[in-house]
Copies of this chain bind each other. A is one copy, B any other.
Amino acid sequence: MNFYGSMEAAWQRAGSLLCVGLDPDPSRLPAHLAARPDAVFAFCRAIVDATAPFACAFKPQIAYFAAARAEEQLETLIAHIHREHPGKPVILDAKRGDIGATAEQYAREAFERYRADAVTVNPYMGFDSIEPWLAWRDRGVFLLCRTSNPGGSDLQSLDVGGERLFERVARLAAGPWNGSGQLGLVVGATFPEELARVRAIVGPMPLLVPGIGAQGGDIEATVRAGGPRMIVNSSRAILYAGAGEDFAEAAAAAAQATREALREALARP
């Protein structure tokens, strides 16, 4: 099955647009776990197992694992998700981007070593930096389009001849760059009008939407702008919903509440 098919099945099965982002900040791990040598894995595994009923996908952010020398824990975590929660795609948030021969190595890192189902990639270097990822036909590639940070506007909102740079990226990603049907886009929830604009350009393409929760994006406005084919990510608001020994239960409650809020927003006429 290709990634669009896997994502379709995951949305259906989970009845949820929520993606749980796994950003294990070492300074915010619960005290009773922090001293364990596998603290990062233990924390993320507990979050995954508690929130899986409410999530359509998981998104580990590789920077947190790399800064903590926890690459092996990331491998173990993704293997755990595949084994215990089959049918929940793992999107490795790595925002890589490099030329051909090097992009091949990054693709091997994400798809072979970590066995991710999809990855985030930066489009600044153009299509020949994206192509090597597409050789993995059953995997997905989410290109950064309109990111959720305020500074995202610095370049992405520049007018490139009647449209903004992020609109051009959306048009390329939905058209000439997507011959193999593996691309999605990253569009922040913090700018609902721009999310709506991207949706209008790309049609039913899956959108990975960070920025709700801690970053302040509004669920109702996000769903109105982006429709049902979204993977709506929340990281900190779920991971750190509780800080004590009951952190996993608190995370599950936060995930469930977010799923419900997304469902209600979708059901509203």
Contacts and interface: CB of A to CB of B under 8 A. Distances in A.
Interface of A: 23, 25, 61, 63-64, 66-67, 69, 71, 95-103, 105-106, 108-109, 112-113, 122-129, 144, 147-156, 158-161, 165, 168-169, 172
Given A71-B71, A158-B168, A127 B106 contact: no
Contacts of A154: 123, 126-127, 172
Given A63-B106, A67-B108, A109-B63, A155 B25 contact: no
A69 B112 CA distance: 11
A148 B108 contact: no
Contacts of A148: 99
Contact of A126 (B25, B108, B156): B156
A123 B165 CA distance: 13
Contacts of A150: 126, 128
25 contacts: A25-B105, A61-B98, A63-B98, A63-B102, A63-B103, A63-B106, A64-B102, A67-B105, A67-B109, A69-B71, A95-B96, A99-B149, A100-B149, A122-B122, A124-B155, A124-B156, A125-B152, A126-B151, A126-B152, A126-B156, A128-B149, A128-B151, A155-B165, A158-B160, A165-B165
A151 B122 contact: no
Given A66-B113, A67-B109, A154-B172, 10 more contacts: A25-B101, A67-B105, A67-B112, A95-B122, A97-B122, A99-B147, A124-B124, A124-B155, A125-B144, A125-B149
Contact of A158 (B61, B95, B99, B165): B165
Given A97-B95, A165-B160, A124 B126 contact: no
Q: Which 5 A-B pairs have the closest CB atoms?
A: A126-B151, A126-B154, A128-B151, A63-B105, A67-B108
